[in-house]
């Protein structure tokens, strides 16, 4: 089943994509999908490792989700850092927090997230279409 996706792309990339697909305007979205499939099919596995689940990422994400109801009460709107299943730091400034985390945990995975209404934000993507922006 196809998914609808809307992409915001740089102007120069839009112009190149439009030039490539202008021949058959009704086929332009299909051509872009075919091109994406071709690129993904030829990519090496290490280039697309986002599909492989990292145990550390899964562990910290699950810890964050479990802590979310309490974090919502105590840290709503703040950025929090979760390491080894526990809250290790928080800050209203994302950059300050990540600098501290990078300095203290240079080799470990630390889950950093902004505490919002839902623990994990849902993104909705619509079908790509080429539109010229004035």
What's the confidence (pLDDT) of residue 34?
74
Residue 96 counted as domain residue: yes
Residue 91 vs residue 54, higher pLDDT:
91
The Cα–Cα gap between 67 and 5 comes to: 32
What's the confidence (pLDDT) of residue 33?
73
Residue 99 counted as domain residue: yes
User: In terms of residue numbers, what domain contains 71?
Assistant: 55-114
Residue 67 counted as domain residue: yes
What's the confidence (pLDDT) of residue 31?
72
pLDDT tens profile 80-90: 999 999 999 99
* 124: CB partners within 8 A, 6+ apart: none
Q: Check whether 5 has a pLDDT greater than 70.
A: no
Confidence band (pLDDT; 50, 70, 90) for 55? confident
The Cα–Cα gap between 13 and 23 comes to: 17
CA end-to-end span of the chain: 33
Residue 62 counted as domain residue: yes
Residue 10 counted as domain residue: no
Domain count of the chain?
A: 1
What's the confidence (pLDDT) of residue 105?
93
- Residue 76 CA, chain-centre distance (Å), reads 21
Residue 121 counted as domain residue: no
Residue 130 counted as domain residue: no
Residues recorded for the chain: 134
Q: Check whether 66 has a pLDDT greater than 80.
A: yes
Question: Which whole number is the average pLDDT over 8-18?
Answer: 69
What's the confidence (pLDDT) of residue 37?
77
Residue 100 counted as domain residue: yes
């Amino acid at each position: 089943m196809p998914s609808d996706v809307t992409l915001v792309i740089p102007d120069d990339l839009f112009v190149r994509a439009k030039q490539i697909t202008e021949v058959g305007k009704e086929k332009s979205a299909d051509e872009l999908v075919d091109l994406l499939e071709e690129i993904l099919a030829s990519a090496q596995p290490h280039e697309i490792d986002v599909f492989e689940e990292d145990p550390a990422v899964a562990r910290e994400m699950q810890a964050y989700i479990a802590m979310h109801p309490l974090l919502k009460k105590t840290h709503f709107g703040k950025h929090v850092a979760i390491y080894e299943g526990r809250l290790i730091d928080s800050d209203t400034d994302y950059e300050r927090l990540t600098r501290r985390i990078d300095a203290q945990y240079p080799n470990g995975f630390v889950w950093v997230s902004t505490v919002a209404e839902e623990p994990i934000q849902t993104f909705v993507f619509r079908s790509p279409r080429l539109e010229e922006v004035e």
